[in-house]
Amino acid sequence: MNAPTTPSGPASAPARELTLLGQPPHERADAARNRSRLLDAAAQLVRELGAQHVTMDAVATAAQVGKGTLFRRFGDREGLMRALLDHAETEYQRGFLTGPPPLGPGAPACERLEAFGRSTIRHHLDHLDLYLAADPCAERRLLVPAEMLRVHHMATLLRQAGAGGDTELLAQALNGYLDPVLLHHLHVQRGYPRARLEDGWHQLATRLLAGAAAEVPRRCR
């Protein structure tokens, strides 16, 4: 995915403009067609077998290309899985950056924060096998551009909602609840229904904002 604007700086810094991530780079028409062909083949295999069972050999065979071509295009299996997520990730990001309220701009920040968590839970569960397959090694997972965008977005909403404290660290804590690995454990391994996970997000966000400034609208508490 494209590199984001790094969400650094003190908690009191003004919110900077967020930009959409995950869009494919500009390519020649023939290169774009080849990329689409490879991703179509990989996506079909994921639907049939599940992401955990898809190999680079199988994708190359399905797309009728050499395995070397596939590796040159995506680097490795993790890169291929991340490329498959790009379209879904872009649509998901568009929802909270420019979509209708309460997820998008136009609603109070506290309402947007709750909608963001619910939307992220649904998005991660709908694409869970791909997220697990594309999960980078531990020291790099929090540097994935899409991950950094989520944290920055939540920190911005926390500041706008009047939350006190270090909003960057609070946003990191909230992001832990939305981790695909945790959602897999709770939803798949422990059997928690989606509604319970979303209600848990509501409780977490509501309690975090309980100490926000008095001018926060009552309906956000």
133 and 195 co-located in one domain = yes
40 and 62 co-located in one domain = yes
179 and 104 co-located in one domain = yes
Q: Which pTM was predicted?
A: 0.74
HEC profile of 57-117: HHHHHHHCCCHHHHHHHHCCHHHHHHHHHHHHHHHHHHHHHHCCCCCCCCCCHHHHHHHHH
Structural element, H or E, at residue 125 = helix 109-126
Last residue of a domain, one of 19, 41, 75: 75
In a domain, 35, yes or no: yes
DSSP conformation class of 157: H
The tens-digit pLDDT sequence of the chain (221 residues) is: 443 444 444 333 433 445 555 455 566 777 777 888 898 899 889 889 888 889 999 999 999 888 888 999 999 988 898 888 887 888 899 999 999 999 999 999 999 999 999 999 999 998 898 888 877 776 777 888 889 999 999 999 999 999 988 999 999 999 999 999 999 999 999 999 999 999 999 999 999 888 654 444 545 65
The CA-atom distances, in angstroms, between 124 and each of 58, 72, 127, 207 are 25, 28, 5, 23
Domain that holds residue 68: 30-75
- Count up the domains in the chain and report the number: 2
The CA-atom distances, in angstroms, between 153 and each of 7, 50, 101, 139, 178 are 9, 31, 15, 22, 13
The first and second tokens of residue 58, run together, are: 């199988």
d(CA 72, CA 95): 32
The CA-atom distances, in angstroms, between 74 and each of 28, 59, 101 are 16, 12, 36
138 and 180 co-located in one domain = yes
